[in-house]
Structure 1
Amino acid sequence: MRFIADMMLGRLARWLRLYGYDTLYGVEDDDEILRVALAENRALLTRDSSLAGRARRLGLKVILLDSNSLEGQIGELKRHGLEFRELFPPNARCPKCNGLIRPVSKGEVRGKVPESVYQKYDEFYVCETCGQIYWPGRQWREMLRIDERLRRV
């Protein structure tokens, strides 16, 4: 399932990307959100009941979320039948731009990451769209801790 999330759901959009869901985010105008959702056959994620109503009248699939917390929103999506696969590669999309992430050899990132990171890690991934490089460092470990909490929701 492909999504477009309204501007109230930035944190959720980033996490959906990490779980591998193609999720657009950053479109500020409601009319443009609806246009993109129709053109690209995307389900709308929103906390705005007015926007949800407009989308339903256009025949769009809509998930109207009540919760303001990430944990609550994930719980609501689970009740809508969404599955949360393995976090991060091999399924993930870039949390920044929604591009696909692929593994790369250590040699491909030489000179593109701090030398201390290059020396410490052997596992690297790169976004095919924006070029962001990822490795299993401190921030990655923190995401895995949050993932454990989200899976218990």
Structure 2
Amino acid sequence: MRFIADMMLGRLARWLRLYGYDTLYGVEEDDEIIRVALEEDRVILTRDCGLAERAEKLGGRVILLGSNDLEEQVGELKRRGVTFRELFPPSARCPKCNGPIRRVSKDYVKGKVPESVYERYDEFYVCKNCGQIYWPGRQWREMLKIDKRLRA
């Protein structure tokens, strides 16, 4: 399942990417969201009743979310049959650009991350599209705590 999220759902879009879902975000115009969804067979995620109604009339698949809270949105998606698999690699996508993330050797990141990070960690990942480097540091641990709540 691939998604396109409207501009009200940026946080949800980033989390869906971390769960491995190909999720477009950043398209501002409703007509463009509908066009992309239909052309690329994506499910539209929105809180906008008008957008949902127009898209459905044109044959688009839509999940209309009622909440503005991330945990409640995830609950709504679960009730609609969306499964939340393993967080982060190997299936994760870049939360910034939606590109695939792959594991890289420690040598690959030498000189690209702070020296203290290089010395402290052995596990690194990089986005194939934007080059963003990830490692299991403090932010990663905080995201795992949020993940537990989202899966509950």
TM range (shorter): over 0.9
Give the equivalent residue in structure 2 for 1:56: 56
Cα deviation, residue 75, structure 1: 0.2
Give the equivalent residue in structure 2 for 1:7: 7
Cα deviation, residue 81, structure 1: 0.5
Give the equivalent residue in structure 1 for 2:43: 43
d(CA) in 2 for partners of 1:150, 1:33: 26
TM-score by length of 1: 0.99
SS of the equivalent of 1:77 reads helix
Post-superposition Cα deviations, 1:47-70, rounded to whole Å, max 9, x if no partner, equal 000000000001011000001100
d(CA) in 2 for partners of 1:22, 1:129: 13
Cα deviation, residue 126, structure 1: 0.2
- The alignment-based identity, stated in percent, is 78
Give unmatched runs, 5+ long, in structure 2. none
Give the equivalent residue in structure 2 for 1:110: 110
SS of the equivalent of 2:88 reads coil
Describe how 1:64-143 pairs up with structure 2 within 5 A: 64-143=64-143
d(CA) in 1 for partners of 2:37, 2:84: 22
Instruction: Give the letter for the 2:125 counterpart.
Output: Y
SS of the equivalent of 1:32 reads helix
Cα deviation, residue 91, structure 1: 1.0
d(CA) in 2 for partners of 1:86, 1:2: 17
Equivalenced residue count is 152
Instruction: Give the letter for the 1:6 counterpart.
Output: D
d(CA) in 2 for partners of 1:117, 1:36: 39
TM-score by length of 2: 0.99
Cα deviation, residue 102, structure 1: 0.2
Give unmatched runs, 5+ long, in structure 1. none
